[in-house]
Every structure is written in structure tokens, then in C-alpha cells.
Chain A
Amino acid sequence: MAEHPFPDPALDRLSAAGCFLDIFFAVWADFEAQVLEGFESGECWRQRVRLGAFAAAGWLRDHPSEARFVFLETLRAGGRLQAERERRLEKLVDLIDRGRPLMTDPRPHGREIAVAVVGGAIGLLVQELQKGESTARVESFVPEFMYMAVLPYLGEEAAREELSICIDNPRD
């Protein structure tokens, strides 16, 4: 058998798994950049989360195939991709967890609330994708997501306000 002309690292890049991983990195980077841009444009944590959530929903609406790839197809992939996916989701958890110092009571809340908020939204998204639903529907869920995200940190009144936020003008 002839010696393979490629050195190992290049071979890895050319393998199906390496290619899959590269595409995942690129697509996720695009998604994350849009979410972070939305998040950073806000003036307070609550507004930042809202703008980040609308940015995420906008990306999902505009990139249905990519959304299916990064959120659904990667679930079926192997260990390394799973780990990379989890590591990136943790960054989103960090954004929600930044609300922890805003809590008014001294109870020792852990990071679990933020994990549940992000995990709940992603879980719902995956369910919708598995049912073949359009990613455009995600935008209409943002007020309810905000209700879930704000409630544990800022309480009922602030959370209820999120349910009536105008989708066309999320900064208000």
C-alpha cells in the first residue's frame, strides 16, 4: 500500500469528522457573534438578555439549515463535538448567570438556575426542530423565554413586563 501523502493533522482536517467539526465551529461562531452583539448593546442585564435573545431568534429565523445543524444534528455526533457544543452552551449560561448578583435575597443560588433557563430554551428549540417546525416561530417565544429568565433573578413584576415587550421594539 502506498504511503499516504498527507501528514496526520491535515488528514484529520480532511476526514468527515474533522470537516464536521470545522463547519460546526464556523457556524457557531457566527451565531455567537450575533448573540453577543445583541447582548452587549443593552444597558442593563435584563435588557442585554432580551436583546441577546432577539438576536438569537433572528439568527435562527434567518439560518434555518445552520440552526438545524448546530442544535440538532450535532446531538447525534460523537464525543468531541458533543463536548465542544456543551462548552459553547456554557458561554450562554454565563450571560444568564450574570443576573445572579442582582437577586434581592441572600439565598445561595447556584449556577443551576442559569443552566435551567438556557437548557429549557435549547430543549424547546430541539423539540421544535425534531417536529420539523420552522425556526421562524422561535421569535414569538422570546417574551416567554424572557419571563423564564427574569423571574428567578428579578421577580414576578419584572418578569410579567417581559411578556408584553413589543417584538418590533425590544429595546423598550
Chain B
Amino acid sequence: MAEARNGTQDPSPGLVRLPPGRHGLPREVVAQNQRDRLIAGIIATVAEVGYNDATISNICAAAGISRRTFYTYFRSKEECFFAAYDAIAEHVLATVREASAREGSWPQKVRAAIAGALEVFAANPDLARFTLIEPPRAGEKISARLRAAGDVAVAELTRGKPKRARTISSDVERALLAGMAAVVSQRVEAGRGGDLLSLQPELVELFLTPYIGRDKAVAIARD
């Protein structure tokens, strides 16, 4: 996997298939490579055909791994999906935290966090499709994972919020996040995922305005 600055990895780059036959690599290296390729495989397959139409055969074909080997690592497509989802979430969270840690004030941290997430998704729009677009379509258990990730994202964005910032209800906070996800999803669905970073000012303004007022939010968003 391609390692990012924060030490986590984009879970779906073009993973290198190990040479066939005797290569002398330790068993754990081979296992990690195969598991990573299956994760990359499910991300690519879900992006192409959607979760509901993705089959284990498709995933294995994308990963270049046999069905038998698939079951060495995962009991089901759903289990593989969750492993990929967790890997992406970890990557996004680490990127967001690293970006916001460089900033001083809370609104600046929010701006950096949103930019960090947009950078990850712009670099690989399949990750946005996998984490934002597909889960609501994939049934209750997977949707529940999206809701839980949303709660983590709200907690992350509001961490360090000053006491003087306005209080808004948890429903509005969840709706703000769902609204931001809708904007990102729409752009990805339109095939413009590589252009996600241009959404940063609107999304920063949208998220910050209820907390600090529009004028301050605009100033931070456009700075």
C-alpha cells in the first residue's frame, strides 16, 4: 500500500501482486499482501458495480486472488466490506487529525480537517463512493456503520470547540454532516471526484456558520 505522511495508507492503490512460486518472502508478508489486495479489490468492485451487485468472485478477480484464499481472511463479503471500511476510516481520521494539529484556533482546525478529508477523497474518489455513497444502499447493518462513522466525524470536528461557540442540536449537527456528504457524493457521482477540493470553502462555511456566525465562518472559509 502507498504510505501517506501520517503513516496510514490509502487502502486501495494498485497493489503489487507478489511473484508466483517460491519468492522467499515471510509468510506474514504474503498474508498481509493478500489481505490488502482483497481490501483494494472490494473497494474497486464496489465502486464499479455497487455493494449489492458485488460478488466474491468479482472481488477476487479484482484482487487477483482465488475464492479459496478469500475465505482464509474473510467469512463473507460483508466482513470484507467492514475491514475495508475500517481501513479507510482510519486513513481519513489520521489525515484529518494530522492536518488539524498544524492549526491554532478551532475554526482553523475545522477548515484543515475538511480540507484533509477532501484531499483523501479527491486523490481516490472510490473511497468516497465506498464510505459515503454505498452504505445507505447496502442494508441496515452497513448503514449503521455509516451512522457510527458520522458520529465519530462530528465528535472530531467539534473537538476543542470553544465554550463561547453556539450550541446546536445533535440533529442539526448530524444533518450538517449528512449535507456535506451529499455535496461530496453528488460531485463524485457526476464523475468530478478529482475536483472535490474546490468544495472546501462552501463546506467550511456551511459547517462553521451555526457555531460562530456567518461573517466569521466566511472569513475562515475564504482565508
Nearest A residue to B176 via CB reads A120
Q: Which of A148-162 contact B (CB under 8 A)?
A: 148, 151-152, 155-156
Q: A139 interface residue, CB < 8 Å from B?
A: no
Stretch at the interface among B6-14, B23-31, B74-82, B179-187: B179-187
Q: Which partner residue on chain B sits nearest A72 by CB separation?
A: B136
Interface residues of A in 79-129 (CB under 8 A from B): 86, 105, 107, 109-110, 112-113, 115-124, 126-127
- Taking the closest CB of chain A, its distance from the CB of B217, in whole angstroms, is 10
Determine chain B's interface SS by DSSP, over half rule. Answer: helix
A71 to B209: give the CA distance in the assembly, Å. 28
CA distance A69 to B180 in the complex (A): 24
**Complex contacts, A152 vs chain B, CB 8 Å:** 205-206, 209, 214
B188-215 contacts to A, CB under 8 A, are 189, 199, 202-203, 205-206, 209-210, 213-214
Query: Which chain A residues (120-149) contact chain B, with CB distance < 8 Å?
Result: 120-124, 126-127, 130-131, 141, 144-145, 147-148
**Residues on A with beta carbons closer than 8 Å to the beta carbon of B189:** 86
Q: Report which of B147, B176, B202 forms a contact with A148, defined as CB distance below 8 A.
A: B176
Within 8 A of A (CB), among B54-107: none
* B205 cross-chain contacts in A, Cβ below 8 A: 152
Size bracket of the A interface: 20 to 34
Whether A147 contacts B172 in the complex (CB less than 8 A), given A107-B218, A119-B182, comes out as yes
- Asked if A112 and B210 sit within 8 Å, CB to CB, the answer is no
Shortest beta-carbon distance from B20 to chain A in Å: 38
User: In the complex the two chains form, is B214's CB within 8 Å of A123's CB?
Assistant: no
Selecting from B32-40, B109-117, B138-146, the interface stretch reads B138-146
Set A86, A110, A116, A124: member contacting B174, Cβ < 8 A = A124
Q: For residue A38, give the distance in angstroms from its CB to the closest CB of chain B.
A: 20
User: Which residues does chain A contribute within 8 Å of B177, judged by CB atoms?
Assistant: 120
Q: How many Å lie between the Cα of A144 and that of B174 in the bound state? A: 11
Please tell me if B17 contacts chain A, counting CB pairs below 8 Å. no
B171 at the interface (CB under 8 A from A): yes
> Which A residues fall within an 8 A CB radius of B?
75-76, 86, 105, 107, 109-110, 112-113, 115-124, 126-127, 130-131, 141, 144-145, 147-148, 151-152, 155-156
Binding site for A on B (CB under 8 A): 52, 136-140, 143-144, 147, 169, 171-172, 174-183, 185-186, 189, 199, 202-203, 205-206, 209-210, 213-214, 218, 222
Beyond the given A75-B136, A119-B181, could you list 7 further A-B residue pairs with CB under 8 A, ordered by the A residue number? A109-B202, A110-B202, A112-B183, A115-B179, A123-B182, A148-B179, A152-B206
